[in-house]
Structure 1
Amino acid sequence: MIARIWSGESPLWLVLLPLSWLYGLVSGAIRFAYRLGLKKSWRAPVPVVVVGNLTAGGNGKTPVVIWLVEQLQQRGIRVGVVSRGYGGKAERYPLLLEPVTTTDQAGDEPVLIYQRTGAPVAVSPVRSDAVKAILASHPVQLIITDDGLQHYKLARDKEIVVVDGVRRFGNGWWLPAGPMRERESRLTSVDAVITNGGVAKAGEIPMRLRPGLAVNLLTGERREVSQLNAIVAMAGIGHPPRFFATLAECGATPLKCVALADHQALSLNDVTSLVQPGQTLVMTEKDAVKCRAFAQNNWWYLPVDAQLEGEQAEKLLQELLTLAR
């Protein structure tokens, strides 16, 4: 229903329009207060790069963060990552991730980034506190914040927006009548726009999510996902249909597809109830980090990597290298 409202297919967005005007008024006033200096931002002693989006829902932001971290690490730059930690609840903040940190504490995306990159990762509702926690124990040269484009309390040196190239901006209205956190005109003030799928517009950096081999959660075995039998697909991400479409592109035809809420907590009973004997469960890597503690031998996940190529992507990396050095 939400998808139909935000796309404009359902007329219910008209009912929600007054709430959207209020949302736009409040969010615009907050941003304007920071621009005028009425509210103060904290500036870190190292450069800060924000990777965010203008819309609610999954746009592929976390794979972009992982790609940036890995690219910079390969070029000798020490990178730290901060996040709000949606879906997690720590005893105290800021929380600096360790190998034993769970998704219940830190949220799924920070744990995924930490496991994939090995970079220092900290979470806190106040992102400046997360930055300070990293700087207190790691000599990083640059901080990337996963989301937080609208978190103006933290000053930033670069802003990168990730756009869903297929859905774009729906009906173009603020939440809740539409998917927008800020209007499309905000793109004119950011440093780079990365477009995930679809057709990138002039000046945007095209991106594709490239699937790898399916990985067994229990054994670590790797296999082509099309070779798995009797697949049940599960996705608890911002836009589950993207994952199901990726499986189809890989030649897999699930018996059923189960869409879960983004950041939804998972238990052994929740997950085992989705599959019958003889069936194989295939989930996203983001879901897998929540299931490792109780993984079964018929559970697999399909990792995906952001793929950005071309002069614009290289130009962005060079700008970040210059910033870090």
Structure 2
Amino acid sequence: MESKESRRWQTVLSDSVLNSWYGSGFWTRMLLPLSFLYARIARNRRVKLECSERWQSPVPIIIVGNITVGGTGKTPFVASLVARLQQQGFKPGIASRGFGAGKDIHLPAQVLPESDPALVGDEPVMLAQQLNIPIMVDPDRVSAAKALIEQKGCDLVIADDGLQHYNLDRHIELVVIDGQRMLGNELSLPAGPLREPPQRLREVDQVLINGEPSRRLDCDFDSFSLKPDVLKPVSGQNIGQPPASGKVHAVAGIGNPGRFFRTLEGLGYEVIPHPFPDHYAFGEEDFQFRDDLPIIMTAKDAVKCSSFAESRFWFLPVQARVPEAVFERILKLIETKGPQSRSDKDTHGQEAV
């Protein structure tokens, strides 16, 4: 477990980097030579993988990812998309890397509501608790997708955060962007937050912005929003009443903790913020705040705290509110770009020769 001093300095450095990427800072621009190198390596890797012979999935593969580092609201969108696909009669499954997955477990690994987040990742466990669908984690997304199709009988696979995993052939690419942060300074890592250049957005099938865009984007896009639900106890044995207002400790170990803190403030809470690194492994010592104020955290963090949660521990679920028109376009993409569509085009092309 990290010491408080170590975490404090890690948070200071993280805040400084994020301010340089998304705010008024500029010091990371000194890393531009490394950004050019990163961009070249990433481009060459993509070309190499796309030109190689890749496994062809017999069912539609939908990538939901981003081109920036940090939280964008992608996971709540995935949950909303799953629910809509199930209404349409699909049996979807989710393939995820699973942050930290692979150590001490056999891969690909199925994620269940009671799975250990330390072994399979916090976001997959959170989704397993919210959704009644198969979820497989494996750093090799092809392996995870095959397991979903061959072992679980899924007729559609959603690759969560797999945009840059180019050895996985895909039929549809959806990119999620945070409306406030957008693309930051639009520089590649490490000078900026971009995993791929802004031009990549013109190649994907749909760009989705979480919230109102704070600046112009040079491509077509749709918007959705995240709406908070009612507070829920971190411990299932908690039968008390959640705090309706007042001063609270807000804990967030996510890619964009500021958005969570602002959400709580918008709900009327007086927030004492406690940002942690993304995917942080919480322990009881992290909640020794020397008072009895309520503690509110994200759903993603709650899955890592249930074993030691007190009655004052609560989490705030959020739901993605996605316009029906967005789902209709995705369903149309499945129809026109799925493997059956590719097969038909290949057959017609062979007949025309």
The alignment's TM-score, normalised by the length of structure 1, stands at: 0.92
Does residue 198 (structure 1) correspond to residue 215 (structure 2)? The answer is no
Does residue 215 (structure 1) correspond to residue 232 (structure 2)? The answer is yes
Letter in 1 for 2:57: A
Tell me the equivalent position of 1:250: 267
List runs of 5+ in structure 1 lacking aligned partners: none
Query: Where do residues 45-84 of structure 1 align in structure 2 (5 Å cutoff)?
Result: 45-84=58-97
**1:188-211 deviations in Å (ceiling 9; x for gaps):** 110011101123857311111000
Instruction: Using the TM superposition, give the Cα deviation of residue 73 of structure 1 relative to its aligned residue in structure 2, in angstroms.
Output: 1.3
- Measure, in 1, the Cα distance between the counterparts of 2:298 and 2:339: 32
Tell me the equivalent position of 1:263: 279
Please identify the structure whose Cα radius of gyration is greater. 2
Query: Where do residues 30-109 of structure 1 align in structure 2 (5 Å cutoff)?
Result: 30-35=45-50, 37=51, 39-88=52-101, 89-109=103-123
In structure 2, the CA distance between the partners of 1:42 and 1:106, relative to structure 1 (3 Å rule), is same
Is the CA contact (8 Å cut-off) linking 2:62 and 2:157 kept in structure 1? yes
Is the CA contact (8 Å cut-off) linking 1:90 and 1:106 kept in structure 2? no
* Partner SS for 1:198: coil
**1:259-310 deviations in Å (ceiling 9; x for gaps):** 111111111222x32x334210000000001111222111000000111115
- Measure, in 1, the Cα distance between the counterparts of 2:291 and 2:335: 51
Is the CA contact (8 Å cut-off) linking 1:205 and 1:313 kept in structure 2? no
Tell me the equivalent position of 1:306: 320
Runs of 4+ in structure 1 displaced over 6 angstroms?
A: none
Instruction: Using the TM superposition, give the Cα deviation of residue 90 of structure 1 relative to its aligned residue in structure 2, in angstroms.
Output: 4.2
* Equivalent of 1:233 in 247, 250, 267: 250
In structure 2, the CA distance between the partners of 1:324 and 1:64, relative to structure 1 (3 Å rule), is farther
Instruction: Using the TM superposition, give the Cα deviation of residue 316 of structure 1 relative to its aligned residue in structure 2, in angstroms.
Output: 2.0
- Measure, in 2, the Cα distance between the counterparts of 1:168 and 1:142: 29
Of 243-252 and 280-289, deviating more is 243-252
In structure 2, the CA distance between the partners of 1:8 and 1:99, relative to structure 1 (3 Å rule), is closer
In structure 2, the CA distance between the partners of 1:235 and 1:47, relative to structure 1 (3 Å rule), is same
Tell me the equivalent position of 1:9: 24
- Measure, in 1, the Cα distance between the counterparts of 2:38 and 2:115: 35
Of 168-177 and 126-135, deviating more is 126-135
Does residue 158 (structure 1) correspond to residue 175 (structure 2)? The answer is no
Q: Percent identity?
A: 38
**1:155-211 deviations in Å (ceiling 9; x for gaps):** 000000001111111111110000000011001110011101123857311111000
Letter in 2 for 1:97: V
In structure 2, the CA distance between the partners of 1:318 and 1:276, relative to structure 1 (3 Å rule), is farther
- Measure, in 1, the Cα distance between the counterparts of 2:48 and 2:241: 53
Tell me the equivalent position of 2:7: none
Letter in 2 for 1:167: R
**1:20-52 deviations in Å (ceiling 9; x for gaps):** 0000000011112234x2x33222221110000
Query: Where do residues 22-33 of structure 1 align in structure 2 (5 Å cutoff)?
Result: 22-33=37-48
In structure 2, the CA distance between the partners of 1:228 and 1:156, relative to structure 1 (3 Å rule), is same
* Partner SS for 1:133: helix
Query: Where do residues 173-184 of structure 1 align in structure 2 (5 Å cutoff)?
Result: 173-184=187-198
List runs of 5+ in structure 2 lacking aligned partners: 1-15, 341-353
Is the CA contact (8 Å cut-off) linking 1:193 and 1:205 kept in structure 2? yes
- Measure, in 2, the Cα distance between the counterparts of 1:307 and 1:233: 24
RMSD across aligned positions (CA): 2.1
Tell me the equivalent position of 1:118: 132
Aligned length: 319
- Measure, in 2, the Cα distance between the counterparts of 1:186 and 1:284: 31
- Measure, in 2, the Cα distance between the counterparts of 1:20 and 1:309: 36
Is the CA contact (8 Å cut-off) linking 1:229 and 1:280 kept in structure 2? no
- Measure, in 1, the Cα distance between the counterparts of 2:104 and 2:148: 16
* Partner SS for 2:192: coil
- Measure, in 2, the Cα distance between the counterparts of 1:117 and 1:306: 14
- Measure, in 2, the Cα distance between the counterparts of 1:132 and 1:153: 13
- Measure, in 1, the Cα distance between the counterparts of 2:245 and 2:300: 20
* Partner SS for 2:174: strand
Letter in 2 for 1:261: P
Of 96-105 and 298-307, deviating more is 96-105
* Partner SS for 1:253: strand
